[in-house]
A and B are shown apart, each in its own frame.
Chain A
Amino acid sequence: MAAAFSSHLPALQVVLALLAAPLCVVLRRPGAAWMIATVITWALLAIAMVLLGRVLETGTITYALGSWPAPWGIEYRIDLANAFVLVLVTLIGSVVMPYARASIPAEIEEPRIYLFYCMYLLNLAGLLGIAITGDVFNLFVFLEISSLSSYVMISLSRDRRALVAAYRYLIMGTIGATFYIIGVGMMYQVTGTLNMVDLATLIPNLTDNRTVMVALAFLCVGLSLKLALFPLHLWLPNAYAYAPSAVSAFLASTGTKVAVYALARILFTVFGGSVLIDDFGLQELLVVLAVAAMIGGSAVAIYQSNVKRLLAYSSIAQIGYMILGLSMASVIGMTAGLVHLFNHALMKGGLFMVMGCVFFRLSSVQVEDMEGLAKRMPLTMAAFVAGGFGLIGMPLTAGFISKWHLIQAALEKGWWGAVAVILVSSLLAVIYIWRVVEAAYFKPPPKGAAEISEAPLSMLVPMWVMIGMSYYFGIDATLTLDITTGAAETLLGGIQ
């Protein structure tokens, strides 16, 4: 019995959350819904860790869904790369959920709260599904489950601008997903299979086939829309700025990250990575876009007065870091990209949680309203500074580890321009973080400012746990680097 149960753990990753979601709708009580969502997320984290441990121990796990053998049935295939993403997603969820209990009622109207938890669970199921599946069409389905639930979560905010943001995200997201299935269809047309491993054996021999190349273009554009790669990022700033803070924290640290993973999977596992190295221009294109994102995102962030939007633009820049690492198609570059995926999730999640605390007391996240806030909310603002250091890439923060590897990877390739861009982007980060710090620490509170105290403990603790983790993995990065290096080697298996 126990053995049978444990062999079905991969399915549980998706099914648990999928089943729990309607339960929230049935129960309707916010407290009960929260309880379900939290317990489920923690259980999923435990399962994800068990799976990661098992992958580290025995290698890749395959699981035939409904016992239909691959390549006919849908196969779940867990190697280091996706076990790592599973842990990341559930970890972020596990920290955000306790935080949401106090934060969500402040930003979502009471009768809609249970819907948030329902949508959150669907989103979680979708994200985990994208990570775990070994089937390109199944990936599309999960992509849409996660996207549709994200649109709803964003639109739940009390701010009416969130509705428009969600609508635009919906349009862009759907176009992206549709591009993706066009690409999948073309691959299927040529190869007759949807299984990633199967595709991986067929596609690399077909790189001179025009249909396959067009498929690649569609897949890249579709996923780039989902992961908000410059210049397809337009949906992201407003969506993150006006969504409830807990939603921003969760989505910013998981949604785009999982899409980055999906892109890496398609490029490296399915297409074998050779498309990047071949004389096809894709590598150059990705590098140029990544560089534009790093500079453009950071530069625009400097001029934002809404701090959540500032963080959103910063995310666009940080996604550029990941894509840059990925596009190097070297083990160390891929490691840098993956480790930054993890580290950035912690830092940005923590920072959005800070903004949730600020909003909780201030009902605003405008820089000018945050003047003199450090005196009134010292713990919250200290967390902002601590998280900001991470974005800049100060030593001892997780951001430093990412940058260290990214620069090393660029040096290895001899890409001096990329090194310069990484540095310029971090210096721009100093400026945009600095603007907020200066307002909070060096300006007197605006006249007639309401007396406010610290955010409640139930928000402060998860926030600091998140920031604390971003320091822990900055001080002792051996664990994350071991796993990401392994994951990078797995993904790059096709090239070596």
Chain B
Amino acid sequence: MELIGLINYWIVIVLMMTGFYIVIAHDNLVKKIVGLNIFQVSVFVFYITMAKVKGGTAPILAEGITTYSNPLPHVLILTAIVVGVATTALGLALVVRIRDAYGTIEDDDFENQDGEP
């Protein structure tokens, strides 16, 4: 029962680990950014999950509604999403320039081309 009640948190953890693994394990720069996105999304889910109050609805003043979900984490995560988008955009822009400069986006190849360890 508890397992199902916490399903969101399990999803968060699975997503987080998946994303993290991709970032670490893949040499392809674009895949790394995909991994990074998955990693960040898990945090967004985490924030939204913790804002949920059982039986609560959107925090709008209306007749007969007394329980609201906490709006603050939603606001926070909106900011985090913006940051995430900016990071992704910047990361991809860097990848484009790296491809222009090196002709590859595989992480292993740069050192060989620059002749350094």
Q: Do A and B assemble together?
A: yes
B91 adjacent to A181 (CB under 8 Å) = no
Which chain A residue has the least Cβ–Cβ distance from B50?
A189
Instruction: Say how far A324's CB is from chain B's closest CB, in angstroms.
Output: 29
B114 proximity list for chain A (CB < 8 A):
160-161
B46 adjacent to A174 (CB under 8 Å) = no
When chains A and B are docked, how far (Å) is the Cα of A160 from the Cα of B83? Answer: 26
B102 proximity list for chain A (CB < 8 A):
160, 164
When chains A and B are docked, how far (Å) is the Cα of A400 from the Cα of B104? Answer: 47
A188 adjacent to B39 (CB under 8 Å) = no
- Among the listed A137, A144, A161, A167, which residue makes an inter-chain contact with B76, where contact means beta carbons less than 8 Å apart? A137
B32 proximity list for chain A (CB < 8 A):
171
- With an 8 A cutoff between CB atoms, is B87 at the interface? yes
A185 adjacent to B50 (CB under 8 Å) = yes
Q: How many residues of chain B are within 8 Å of chain A by beta carbon?
A: 29
Q: Which of A144, A152, A178, A182 has most chain B Cβ within 10 Å?
A: A178
- With an 8 A cutoff between CB atoms, is B69 at the interface? no
A171 proximity list for chain B (CB < 8 A):
23, 32, 36, 91
B47 proximity list for chain A (CB < 8 A):
181, 185
- Tell me how many residue pairs across A and B have CB atoms closer than 8 Å: 71
When chains A and B are docked, how far (Å) is the Cα of A167 from the Cα of B36? Answer: 12
B43 adjacent to A174 (CB under 8 Å) = no
Instruction: Say how far A225's CB is from chain B's closest CB, in angstroms.
Output: 13
A166 adjacent to B40 (CB under 8 Å) = no
A167 adjacent to B98 (CB under 8 Å) = yes
B46 adjacent to A175 (CB under 8 Å) = no
Q: Contact mask A140-178 → B, CB, 8 Å, 1/0?
A: 110010001001100100001101101100110011011
For the complex, would chain B's binding face be called helix, strand, loop or mixed by DSSP majority? helix
A182 adjacent to B87 (CB under 8 Å) = no
Q: Contact mask B76-117 → A, CB, 8 Å, 1/0?
A: 100110010011001100110110011000000010001000
B73 adjacent to A185 (CB under 8 Å) = yes
Instruction: Say how far A148's CB is from chain B's closest CB, in angstroms.
Output: 6
B23 adjacent to A175 (CB under 8 Å) = yes
- Among the listed A163, A177, A178, A194, which residue makes an inter-chain contact with B97, where contact means beta carbons less than 8 Å apart? A163
When chains A and B are docked, how far (Å) is the Cα of A146 from the Cα of B56? Answer: 37
When chains A and B are docked, how far (Å) is the Cα of A167 from the Cα of B110? Answer: 12
B43 adjacent to A182 (CB under 8 Å) = yes
Given the interface contacts A164-B98, A166-B94, does A144 sit within 8 Å of B87 by beta carbon?
yes
Which chain A residue has the least Cβ–Cβ distance from B95?
A167
When chains A and B are docked, how far (Å) is the Cα of A141 from the Cα of B80? Answer: 8
Q: Which of B32, B73, B110 has most chain A Cβ within 10 Å?
A: B110
A188 adjacent to B110 (CB under 8 Å) = no
B76 proximity list for chain A (CB < 8 A):
137, 194
B95 proximity list for chain A (CB < 8 A):
167
B43 adjacent to A167 (CB under 8 Å) = no
When chains A and B are docked, how far (Å) is the Cα of A170 from the Cα of B29? Answer: 11
Which chain B residue has the least Cβ–Cβ distance from A173?
B87
- Among the listed B39, B79, B94, B110, which residue makes an inter-chain contact with A155, where contact means beta carbons less than 8 Å apart? B94
B36 adjacent to A174 (CB under 8 Å) = yes
Instruction: Say how far A209's CB is from chain B's closest CB, in angstroms.
Output: 15
Q: Which of B29, B47, B83, B91 has most chain A Cβ within 10 Å?
A: B83
6 A-B residue pairs with CB within 8 Å: A155-B97, A161-B110, A163-B98, A164-B98, A175-B39, A188-B72
Besides A182-B43, A188-B73, 5 more A-B contacts (Cβ < 8 Å) are A137-B79, A155-B94, A170-B91, A178-B40, A185-B43
